[in-house]
């Protein structure tokens, strides 16, 4: 809890951090509370099905099927946030562990891990995701494991690079000289010193994963209609953009604001930890 409090204090120390963190918290609260505060049922159709703009009854207008855009936007981030949060945790957990292990052990194990990483990074990410989803379906558990695996590959390289700077330190050499086991050295000596880098990386991975999830929904491989989803809402209404921009602009603004909030928070977090967000190294 002390660590979380220190991170929160560091984020809130800057104005951009306060803005970003407030945006993220707003979306998280909305994702939890939206089923109880939305003005209409997400699939309810108005009596007059037409492209109408904002009104007193429908603040963000109606979509092409006469459904309330505000209601669907408020509910549209629930699955995206849930799936990508779990996916981010999975990516940073397995990617961080194998990256640290590769950097610590070195030798053939390091070579095997890094050549495997290079192979997967050579595969276009969208083709990889579409192949898995086409084979196993687009259920939430499939999306979590698929996104978590793919985005964890980059974490392996980052964690390994950070570990290589730590393993030569005196306290790590002393722990190995005392005969401590591999896991003991990793969790007691190395992990606390690469934790900040991994936490900043997790925020960045979350924003990238949200974009990937929305892109899959936009292409029709994500959330199944009529479930509200930002990417799906944009895809369904994009051809009517010149006539009715609201069904596209409102979910686009919601998604963009969350991405901006995460990036502002990550930037403030990196600065408070003395890290450069672009290189993930001490400044």
Which pLDDT belongs to residue 155?
Answer: 94
Q: Please name the residue ranges forming H helices in the chain.
A: 2-11, 15-37, 69-76, 78-105, 107-121, 125-136, 140-166, 170-177, 182-185, 191-218, 230-237, 246-272
**Buried-exposed string 47-64: b where 16+ CB fall within 10 A, e elsewhere:** eeeebeeeeeebebbbbe
Other CB atoms within 10 Å distance of the CB of residue 230: 29
Which pLDDT belongs to residue 281?
Answer: 41
Which 3 state secondary structure label does DSSP give 31?
helix
Predicted confidence pLDDT, tens digits, the chain (283 residues): 667 787 888 888 889 999 999 999 999 999 999 889 888 887 877 766 655 777 777 778 788 777 888 889 999 889 899 999 999 999 999 999 999 999 999 889 999 999 999 988 888 877 888 888 888 887 888 889 999 999 999 999 999 999 999 988 888 888 888 888 888 888 888 988 898 899 899 999 999 999 999 988 888 887 777 888 899 888 888 887 777 788 889 999 999 999 999 999 999 988 888 775 444 443 3
Place of tokens 């957990």: 93
* DSSP state letter for 223: S
As given in the structure block, the two tokens for residue 206 are: 């979350």
Q: According to the CATH classification, is domain 2-282 in 1.10.3720.10? A: yes
Which pLDDT belongs to residue 278?
Answer: 45
């Amino acid at each position: 809890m002390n660590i979380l409090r220190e991170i929160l204090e560091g984020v809130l120390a800057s104005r951009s951090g306060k803005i970003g963190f407030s945006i993220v918290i707003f979306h998280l609260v909305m994702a939890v509370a939206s089923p109880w505060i939305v003005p209409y049922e997400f699939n309810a159709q108005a009596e007059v099905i037409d492209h109408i703009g904002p009104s007193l009854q429908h603040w963000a207008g109606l979509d092409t099927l006469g459904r309330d855009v505000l209601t669907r936007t408020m509910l549209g981030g629930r699955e995206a946030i849930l799936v990508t949060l779990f996916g981010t945790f999975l990516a940073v957990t397995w990617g961080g562990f194998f990256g640290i292990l590769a950097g610590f052990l070195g030798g053939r194990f390091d070579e095997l891990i890094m050549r495997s990483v290079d192979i997967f990074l050579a595969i276009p990410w969208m083709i990889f995701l579409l192949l898995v989803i086409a084979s196993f379906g687009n259920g939430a558990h499939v999306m979590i494991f698929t996104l978590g695996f793919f985005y964890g590959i980059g974490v392996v390289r980052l964690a390994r690079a950070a570990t290589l700077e730590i393993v030569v330190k005196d306290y790590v050499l002393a722990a190995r000289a005392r005969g401590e086991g591999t896991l003991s050295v990793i969790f007691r000596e190395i992990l606390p010193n690469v934790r900040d880098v991994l936490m900043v990386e997790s925020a960045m991975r979350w924003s990238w994963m949200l974009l990937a999830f929305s892109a899959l929904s936009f292409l029709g491989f994500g959330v199944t209609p009529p479930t509200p989803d930002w990417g799906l809402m944009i895809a369904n209404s994009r051809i009517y953009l010149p006539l009715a921009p609201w069904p596209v602009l409102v979910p686009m603004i919601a998604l963009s604001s969350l991405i901006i909030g995460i990036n502002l928070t990550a930037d403030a977090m990196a600065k408070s930890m003395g890290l450069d967000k672009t290189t993930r190294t001490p400044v």
